[in-house]
Structure 1
Amino acid sequence: MERFFNGIRASELTTAVWTKSSHSNATGNCVEVAGLPDGSVAVRNSRDPQGPALVYTRDEMAAFVAGARSGDFDSVIG
């Protein structure tokens, strides 16, 4: 099975279906995510859809989402 690595150009993920947050705004300040065929998750900047994508395992993304939900990262944006 194909493996995907951090910093891959998002344009190389030709089968990726990107999802943008409902909290995105008109200035494009948002990230998008896509599930990949190997089970990993790609993340890209919505302002640069052809630019680099970071790739995480499902477990890494689950840990991040759980931390975000519980407020672990509020100090980063607060």
Structure 2
Amino acid sequence: MPPAGTYHGTARRPRLWALRPDRSGSGTVTEAECTTCLDGSGAADDGRGPAVWCLAHTQETGHTGFRRIRTDFFRASCD
């Protein structure tokens, strides 16, 4: 019987996985959500669009609280 950890006489090397930023798509995506009515700005590739939406939403509704949501992406790869 072969020793533990061997396969056909050779040691099996464990696969090492790592998480890295995924640069194949867009960068960070930003959106904003009103904390009063939960209406949202929609996603944008920059923070300017959601910020402008917040100001317009405040002017239209009087709501002043917002949640900024930033999403970035990463991918697992095997070394």
* Richer in strand (by share): 2
Give the TM-score, by structure 1 length.
Answer: 0.20
Greater relative contact order structure (CA < 8 Å, 6+ sep): 2
**Structure with max Cα Rg:** 2
Give the TM-score, by structure 2 length.
Answer: 0.20
* Richer in helix (by share): 1
